[in-house]
A and B are shown apart, each in its own frame.
Chain A
Amino acid sequence: MSWLDALRQRAADLRGHSRDRDLDEEIAYHLELETARQISNGCDPVTARARAIARFGNSGQITDATRDERGAHTMEGGMQDLRWAARSLRKSPGFTALALFTLTLGIGATTVAFTVLDSVLLKPLPYREADRLVFVREQTAEQALLPPSYPNFVSWREAARSFSGVASAMSSGAETVWPSATGGDPLRVTIMGVSRRFFAILGVTPIIGREFTGDENIVGTVRAAMVSYEFWQTQMGGRMPLGSVRFDDTPISVVGVLPPNFRFINQADLYFPHEALPGTVRSAHNYLVVARLAPTATLQSARAEMTSLSKSLRAIYGNETQAAGADVRLLRDYLVADYRTMLAIVFGAAALVLLIACTNLTSALLARGRAREREIVVRAALGASRTRLVRQLVLESGLLVLCGAAMGTALAGGAIHVIGSVGANLIPRLNELGVDARVGAFVVSVAVATVLVVGVYPAFRLAHRDPGLALRDGRGTAMTVRAPVWRLLVGFEIALAVVLLIGSTLLIRTLHNILTADTGFDSQGIVTAAITPRRGDADRLEQIRSDLSTLPGVTGAAFTSRLPLSWGNMSAPVRRVTDPGDHDWPAFAGFRIISSDYFAVLRQPVVRGRAFTNADRTGAALVAVITPGIAEKLWPGQDPIGRSIGTNFLYDQWLTVVGVVAEASSWTMPRGSQNEIYVPLAQHPNNTEGQLVAVVRTAGDPAALIPAVRARLRQLYPGSAAQLGTMDERIERSAADRRFAMLALTAFGVIALLLAAVGIYGVIWYIVTTRTHDIGVRMALGATGGVVQAGILRDATLMALGGIAAGILGGVFATRYLQATLYGVSRLDPRTYVIGGGIALCTALLGAYIPARHSSRIDPMVAIRGE
């Protein structure tokens, strides 16, 4: 070949497309000439044309083979192969749709799970050098971990050498604030108090202004506030200068704006210097302490120092402090501790779904391979190299996975958006949810792994056939994948789906048990309204209470300083008259300040003595109602009514026990409780720490009552924006983490079922097609369609039962990881296993039904004659 020819050839190579057309033209001309020859041999034109086509052979295969030849080993070859892959996928839309559906669900589910896992567990906290930040708590003699008191925090801050800085924050619930110093409507905002250098220690810099100075954060009055970026934008209109906000009648200047999305454990709109109004009770538990490890300190050394420090404080203050030791752990570990198991469960479930998707895809590709083996073998015979064939087949799978990954990521993006907006307040850090480079890298590696798993094996299997064998044997049975392999794949899928079903059923029942668990009071029909009482308003509050109870449909109303099922501890040591006052008080109790009717409204049963009445007011003897736990601790086996109880929550005052009330859930569902002491609001109107909650009972729908309560409160207590809700919502929230795991597991379980159904559908369909000939023979020999169909279904049932048995075994093993999460249901609960297996069996039969039905309609004559 001369260099000129070579050059011409090269130039022609670059025009790939026109060469495709050239080939078509060449073939068309060929057929024309052959037809003409047949006619000249004496054929009529139609027969001549048919003969010409028959003599030419399969033009599609020849075109492909010619392209293979042309493009091998060149860049253009890569593009050619890609085009070939796309074309071959387009040629079988059913297979492609099924594969894409499977991949989208598999990759989408895994991506969602990884994104959640990544934002909650893996990504560093949004603070500077967050791995040096630790969270410090008091450890009681009973090993309980509790938030420290302000005096203990100060003692720690002064003495600890392990830290380069110690700071504290306190969530103070909600306050009524006017966003502008002049006029405007009051808002209910969440506020958080912060100590000196709080933001500096976290390593967070305000985007506007500064954090509080030491002068602003000393005992005295609150003169400055900081606001969240979101509050600044939505309520202050992003104004500059920042100006002031107003509490009651006091304007407070805003000195700084925090970065967008900043939050420390809880979200807050407004930050104030809490050391201006410090806590004084050493036994309280209401501050969150965060510290930065000094460069030389380790977690262990800090732990040791803080424990000995707490011990020496205990030596000085005795039972005034409840801290027998201290717990120091990484802030991140503290934040996500409760969710680690949940997220591991969710991620495990997603991995199972992906596994099922891969199994489906592998079996679909193998089945497709069988249908295509003639095509492949002919191309191999026409000279396509094995490497080339493998490359093309892998590329085909790769193209599928790529599309699947793209669709899966899009699906995940939508799901993540929903999860982020729904879950932001339920699970820490879920507000940071987002698809980023890490998630991208994850998706890519999942996709590559998927191609390797599902694409390479079937491709090699196909390309390495002996061409002669398949060409001669028309039906190509030599290629048939052995039936046991199919059964194994399908059984495996069903087993995985059963494991997921068992897990989600257990969690659904757990959630149901929690939500219907005995809380010690009747939560239905209760509206709650948090307000900010002004000092000395006791009479006014009583008036509001009786007024609220006259609203239409309302059967009663009361106030409490703390609702059941809410954190925020006013807890203090208590003693009998006979106990010495300086140390070793015999018990601790949480305090709740309540109005009369409270127990009646909540339907919390008084088991001994009486509840409070309107006679229990200022000037009358100080009284208390206690829970049985305290009675048992202070006066075991005796009648507590009429005895006196002392506490440093209410200094120098002795309370007479007038009643014993059944315990109600103090903190969380199902029963996170402490001993409690209730005292009447009328006798302690100024001890509510600026927060009071009205509880209003209605016979009807509580949500429908909310507007009426809001309107009445606005009218009765102007200037206080109330925060309203229902008690049932609160109970729902207290089970939020389990609900999240349950929803995730159920969603994945449903997806897994769907995929397993698709899988069994595909496999049965495949079996029916490969057996068409046999079925035809059997039907010709007298078998009816019904008999054939029943045979196929029996086959499917056997496969499903094998998988279900394996799945139940797997469930027995896998539910060990759910153990701690379950409530009120055994992880080996037989009903759950029956339900899981039953659903899987029904789904499998549903998947098998369509192809089985198809088998019963096979025309024996066509089946036997045709190939």
Chain B
Amino acid sequence: MGRETGDLLPGTFEMLILKALSLGDMHGWGIAERIERLSGGVCAVQQGAVYPVLQRLLRRGWLVADWRATENHRRARYYRLTASGRRQLESEVEWWRRSIGGVDRVLRAAAQEA
């Protein structure tokens, strides 16, 4: 059974949301849209899934949220990265780079190296 588009490695969704918010404060839809767009459509998860994760990140203190007026005069809940959120993002990216590099080296291994 092949993998479908949108399946993410465990733990990566939180990192993507933190990253999306590091580019600027945004509301829920905007975050989902930003991730989808930036990934070139590869990370097109169910959009609703961002909300539970946003809630979890809020609880850990990596984000804060407040209601602001939008450009078209509606109320929207904007999420903003906190300082600890930014540190968390850095450490996650660091972890991601390290593990992806490791996985990649394994995948590239030639038979004689085993």
- Residue numbers of A with Cβ under 8 A of B are 1-2, 5-6, 8-9, 22-23, 25-27, 29-30, 33-34, 37, 55-59, 62-63, 65-66, 68-70, 72, 382-383, 472
Is the beta-carbon distance between B52 and A382 smaller than 8 angstroms? yes
Give 9 A-B contacts (CB < 8 Å), ordered by A residue.
A1-B84, A1-B85, A6-B61, A9-B58, A29-B28, A33-B29, A33-B33, A55-B46, A70-B59
Which residues 43-59 of B have a CB within 8 angstroms of A?
46-49, 51-56, 58-59
Decide yes or no whether B42 CB sits under 8 A from chain A: no
Interface centre among B32, B52, B84, by most A CB within 10 Å?
A: B52
B75-83, B91-99, B101-109: which lies at the interface: B75-83
Q: How far is it, in angstroms, between the C-alpha of A62 and the C-alpha of B48 when the chains are bound?
A: 6
Tell me how far the C-beta of A795 lies from the nearest C-beta in chain B, rounded to whole angstroms: 34
B112 to chain A: closest CB distance in Å? 35
What are the residues of chain B within 8 A of A37 when measuring CB–CB?
A: 33
| A70, B65: Cα distance in complex, Å | 13
Cβ–Cβ contact A30 & B46, under 8 A: no
* Residues on the A chain within 8 Å of B84, using CB: 1
Contact assessment for B47 and A383 in the assembled complex, using a CB-CB cutoff below 8 Å: no
Q: B1 in the interface, Cβ–Cβ < 8 Å? A: yes
The answer to whether B82 touches A5, judged by C-beta atoms less than 8 angstroms apart, is yes
A56 and B48 within 8 A (CB): yes
Q: How far is the CA of A25 from the CA of B51 in the complex (A)?
A: 12
Contact of A27 among B48, B61, B62, B82 (CB under 8 A): B48
Contact indicator A29/B74 (Cβ below 8 Å): yes
Expressed in whole angstroms, the minimum distance between the Cβ of A52 and any Cβ of chain B is 8
CB contacts (< 8 Å) of A6 on chain B: these are 61
- Is the Cβ of A68 less than 8 Å from the Cβ of B52? yes
Partner of A58 from B48, B76, B85 at Cβ < 8 Å: B48
Judging by beta carbons under 8 Å apart, are B55 and A26 in contact? no
> Nearest CB to that of A8 among chain B residues?
B64
Interface residue? B34 (CB, 8 A): no
- With an 8 Å Cβ cutoff, the count of chain B residues facing the other chain is 31
**Is A62 within 8 A of B51, CB to CB?**
yes
Are the C-beta atoms of B55 and A69 separated by less than 8 Å? Answer: yes
B47 with A56: CB separation less than 8 A: yes
The binding surface of chain B is classed by DSSP as: helix
Q: Is A65 touching B52 in the complex (CB atoms < 8 A)?
A: yes
Do A383 and B53 form a contact, CB below 8 Å, given A9-B58, A22-B77, A29-B29?
yes
Q: Are A69 and B56 in contact (CB under 8 A)?
A: yes
Contacts of B48 in A (CB 8 A): 27, 30, 56-59, 62
C-beta contact mask, B1-32 vs A, less than 8 Å → 1, else 0?
10000000000000000000000000111101
- Nearest chain B CB to A320 CB, angstrom units: 93
Q: Which of B29, B56, B61, B85 is A383 in contact with, Cβ under 8 Å?
A: B56
Q: Which residues of B contact A2 (CB under 8 A)?
A: 82
Find out whether the CB atom of B55 lies under 8 angstroms from the CB atom of A70: yes
> What is the distance, in angstroms, from B18's C-beta to the closest C-beta of chain A?
14
Chain B residue with the shortest CB-CB distance to A69 = B55
User: Is A69 a contact partner of B47 (Cβ separation < 8 A)?
Assistant: no
Q: Is the CB of A26 within 8 A of B51?
A: yes
Known: A6-B61, A25-B75, A29-B74. A69 touches B52 (CB 8 A): yes
A-B contact count (CB 8 A): 86
**Most chain A C-beta atoms within 10 Å of own C-beta, residue among B30, B49, B85:** B49
- Complexed CA–CA distance, A29 and B32 (Å): 13
Question: Which A residues are in CB contact (< 8 Å) with B27?
Answer: 26, 29-30
Given A6-B61, A29-B74, A66-B54; 13 other pairs, CB 8 A cutoff = A5-B64, A5-B82, A9-B58, A25-B77, A26-B28, A26-B51, A29-B27, A30-B29, A33-B29, A33-B33, A55-B46, A56-B46, A69-B52
For residue A12, which residue of chain B has the nearest CB?
Answer: B65
Question: From A60, which residue of chain B is reached at the shortest CB distance?
Answer: B48
Which residue of A has the minimal Cβ distance to B84?
A1
Task: Name the contact of A1 in the complex, choosing from B33, B47, B76, B82 (C-beta under 8 A).
Answer: B82
From residue B35, how far is it (CB to closest CB) to chain A in Å?
13
Q: Which residues of B have CB within 8 Å of A26? A: 27-28, 51, 76-77
Closest to B70 in A: A29
Q: Which residues of A contact B75 (CB under 8 A)?
A: 25, 29
A22 to B, closest residue via Cβ: B77
**A69-B30 Cα distance, complex, nearest whole Å:** 21
Contact A1 B64 (CB under 8 A): yes
Give CA–CA (A382, B52) in the complex, Å: 7
CA distance A22 to B28 in the complex (A): 12
* Residues of the A chain whose Cβ atoms lie less than 8 Å from the Cβ of B54: 66
What's the minimum C-beta distance from B101 to chain A, rounded to whole angstroms? Answer: 26
Contacts of A23 in B (CB 8 A): 51
- Measured CB to CB, the closest approach of chain A to B56, in angstroms, equals 5
Instruction: Choose among A25, A34, A65 the residue that contacts B47 (Cβ–Cβ < 8 A).
Output: A34
Closest chain A CB from B64 CB (angstroms): 5
Cα distance A1–B62 when bound, in Å?
Answer: 7
CA distance A2 to B85 in the complex (A): 12
Residue of A25, A27, A30 with most partner-chain B CB within 10 A: A30
Chain B residues within an 8 Å CB radius of A65? 51-52
Whether the pair A382, B83 counts as a contact (CB closer than 8 A) is no
CA distance A42 to B84 in the complex (A): 41
* Complex-state Cα separation, A59 to B76, whole angstroms: 18
Given contacts A6-B61, A472-B1, contact A62 B52 (CB under 8 A): yes
Contact of A66 among B1, B30, B55, B83 (CB under 8 A): B55
Residue in A closest to B77 when the chains form the complex, CB atoms: A26
**A-B CB proximity, top 3 nearest:** A57-B46, A69-B55, A62-B48
Set of chain A residues within 8 Å of B46, measured between Cβ atoms: 55-57
Chain A residues within an 8 Å CB radius of B51: 23, 26-27, 62-63, 65-66
Question: Considering the chains assembled together, what is the distance between the CA atoms of A65 and B62 in angstroms?
Answer: 19
B85: chain A residues within 8 A (beta carbon): 1
Contacts of A70 in B (CB 8 A): 55, 58-59
Assess the B49–A382 pair: CB atoms within 8 A.
yes
A59 and B48 alpha carbons, distance in the complex (Å): 7
CB distance from B61 to the nearest CB of A (A): 4
A379 closest partner in B (C-beta): B52
